[in-house]
Structure 1
């Protein structure tokens, strides 16, 4: 596992603090119920719904885009390389998250991060429709 220097830790802390209010403004952390055809299908049983975009006051990022990834029960978003840094929260359901070096379980209200260039995959392990609310940090 890579070590994190003080500067990186501070930058990550500032980014997380700046993104937290966006989650609150984007309909709290409660998941909206989406219809079966809303958004764009990105994997079988997995749809991406755009929630909104705003400008960023974080110097490293020009904007932040909020999306909901909607998973049917048992649906899988296979591991893929992340194009951007992201802050993710589980708005509904329970998930197993798989990264290159670890695997962990999350439930509603839990948060995690994804780093640009790293892999990430998700499986909805609950019997309900699951939702990841993701803040995608768009570089300046």
Structure 2
């Protein structure tokens, strides 16, 4: 490695000083919120829906997007149900088996899948911890 002159050393030092705050400001993705046993609305035994928020959509087919957390106790089963809207689902905590009309698959924390309006979907929390589905419900225009 060659020698470093004073100008290069100063430039390197200034660059390092400028970049360091950027790493300090970066935050990792947050883990799922831990909900109390009575938060939200119970929709099935051991399963509660907690409304997170709603916002307008810039996607022409959808007027708004509603975000909800579905909180599953360990072993809780949400039976196959016909979906009223298109949805994007993320496993925020736990592990799940997802059952659709034509397939069944397993998902872990951080993985995602989609549900289409008019199609069936069911979920089982197969982990030993409280599981959370964060769902973006796409509301049609």
Q: TM-score range by the shorter chain?
A: 0.7 to 0.9
- Matching residue of 2:45: 44
- Matching residue of 2:66: 65
Q: What is the TM-score when the length of structure 1 is the normalising length? A: 0.80
How far does residue 75 in structure 1 lie from its aligned partner after superposition? 0.3
Contact 1:88 1:134 (8 Å CA) reproduced: yes
Question: Hey, which bits of structure 1, 4+ residues long, moved more than 4 A?
Answer: none
- In 1, Cα distance between the equivalents of 2:50 and 2:31? 15
- Matching residue of 1:105: 106
Q: Does 1:131 align with 2:132?
A: yes
Q: What is the TM-score when the length of structure 2 is the normalising length? A: 0.79
- In 1, Cα distance between the equivalents of 2:31 and 2:65? 19
How far does residue 29 in structure 1 lie from its aligned partner after superposition? 5.3
- In 2, Cα distance between the equivalents of 1:119 and 1:46? 18
Bigger Rg, structure 1 or 2: 2
Provide Cα deviations, 1:4-39, integer angstroms capped at 9, x if missing partner: xxxxxxxxxxxxxxxxxxxxxxxx452100000000
Number of equivalenced pairs:
113
Aligned-residue Cα RMSD (Å) equals 0.7
**Unaligned ranges ≥5, structure 1:** 1-27
**Unaligned ranges ≥5, structure 2:** 1-28
How far does residue 61 in structure 1 lie from its aligned partner after superposition? 0.1
Q: Does 1:82 align with 2:83?
A: yes
How far does residue 63 in structure 1 lie from its aligned partner after superposition? 0.1
- Matching residue of 1:34: 35
